[in-house]
Structure 1
Amino acid sequence: MMIKLELLSETDFSQIVEWVNQYPEDFLVQWAGTTYEYPLTIEQMKGHYSNGHNSVESAVFIYKIMDDNRFIGSFQLGRLNWVTKEAIVGRFLIGEEINRGRGIGRIALNELVKIGFNQFNLETIKLNVYEFNRQAIKCYESIGFRKSLYQEKMYQNSNGFWWNNFEMTLRKEDWLV
């Protein structure tokens, strides 16, 4: 396993759309909040990133997760605030089920955190995760993220169940320990 990150281009949107749409509508919300409508389309993604991506001006960088030169997932470091030196990790996806639970997400997230703290000189990186996603929470905690805010009833899924959310925070000084 040789995990590395590469900047994602618009031509990669089709793969993300394919991965996300293989799951029910609630998965789209788990992955991206209420930003998009199900089913996800390339046009929705292009519209969302109409101000661009992978530039300081756009304040969002989208990365492909690569394993031995195979595109297996993606995530973004967005809402970069150059004044407060904060950003948010979002849209974290390991595309195929076979690649989940193998530690790929932990390796990739650690690389993203390294980029955030070292390349972008951030002081704080945050992310949001629904409470039921215990595997993801365990991954985030293994990097050093800590639960910092709990929000009840953030989303009511298609079966009528409410999803609660954790905001998790990693400060550069804690990551370096």
Structure 2
Amino acid sequence: MKNILMGPRVTLAVPRPEDFDEISDWFTDGTFIRNLDTDPARPLSGEELEQTYRNINRDTEFYFHIRTNDDDRLLGFVTIYNIDWRNQLGQLAIAIGDAEDRGQGFGTEALNLMLNYGFNELNLYKVCLDVIATNQSAIAVYQNSGFEFEGTNKRAVKRDGHREDLYNMGLFAADFQPRINFN
């Protein structure tokens, strides 16, 4: 039986306690934290992040850390959360922590692993996400993976005194075409 959580270069893995201190370092990078969420940027300790992980609703959220296959290095995290089982819908969030790891295809591979998991293991009908309009690299990855624009929350995000749009994107299981070869 194939490992549905492993791709050619990355694996979706169980979080390790020591990972949260490293993720805490990412939360001091303004670009990382401000692209991740619409909440105000603020550093979080490894302890706070681990506590957040321990408190997730395991019935409606599936959270993984992204690790390299060759050296088991932590790259980021990905989650499908707020799952509405009755309607088979889920929200997706993904982040690659270190700037030098972005743009290397790790995020695309992890995203496709998670979508495959969501559609084929969790039996979701649709996966949705929100992305700030200024995060063009993420938008390109999402579009390349099959997500389509479904709406715009105009001027919903305030950054540096400017208002930015928040895009809503979605992907149906029937439209999912994996962009990687699964092991």
Band of TM-score, shorter chain: 0.7 to 0.9
Question: Does structure 2 retain, via aligned residues, the 8 Å contact 1:126–1:168?
Answer: yes
Residue 87 of structure 2 corresponds to residue 84 of structure 1: yes
State the identity as a percent. 25
**SS at the partner of 1:8?**
coil
Unaligned 5+ segments in structure 1 are none
Match of 1:94 among 82, 93, 96: 96
Query: What residue number does 1:41 align with?
Result: 45
Q: How many residues align?
A: 169
Comparing 3-12 with 120-129, greater Cα deviation is found at: 3-12
Partner of 2:35: 30
**Structure 1 CA distance for aligned equivalents of residues 121 and 35 of structure 2:** 28
Q: Where in structure 2 are the equivalents of 1:1-177 lying within 5 Å?
A: 2-21=9-28, 23-24=29-30, 27-34=32-39, 38-46=42-50, 48-49=52-53, 51-52=55-56, 55=58, 57=59, 59-67=60-68, 68=70, 69-90=72-93, 92-157=94-159, 159-176=160-177
Q: What displacement does 1:20 show? A: 1.9
Higher relative contact order (CA 8 A, sep 6+): 2
Superposed CA deviations along residues 146-169 of structure 1, whole A, max 9, x for unmatched, are 010111121211x20112111110
TM-score (norm 1): 0.85
Q: Partners of 1:9 and 1:127 in 2: how far apart?
A: 26
Hey, what's the Cα distance between the residues in 2 that align with 1:168 and 1:132? 15
Q: Deviations over 1:125-154 (max 9, x none)?
A: 011111111111110011100010111121
Residues 7 and 61 in structure 1, CA contact (< 8 A), matched pair in contact too: no
- Describe the SS at the equivalent of 2:66: strand
Is this contact kept in 1: 2:22–2:46, CA < 8 A? no
Contact 2:20 2:47 (8 Å CA) reproduced: no
Structure 2 counterpart SS, 1:98: helix
Shift of residue 176 of structure 1?
Answer: 4.7
For the residues of structure 1 that align with 2:153 and 2:78, how far apart are their CA atoms? 23
**Deviation of residue 43 (structure 1)?**
4.5
TM-score by length of 2: 0.82
Query: 3-state SS of the aligned residue for 1:135?
Result: helix
Q: Name the amino acid aligned to 2:100.
A: I
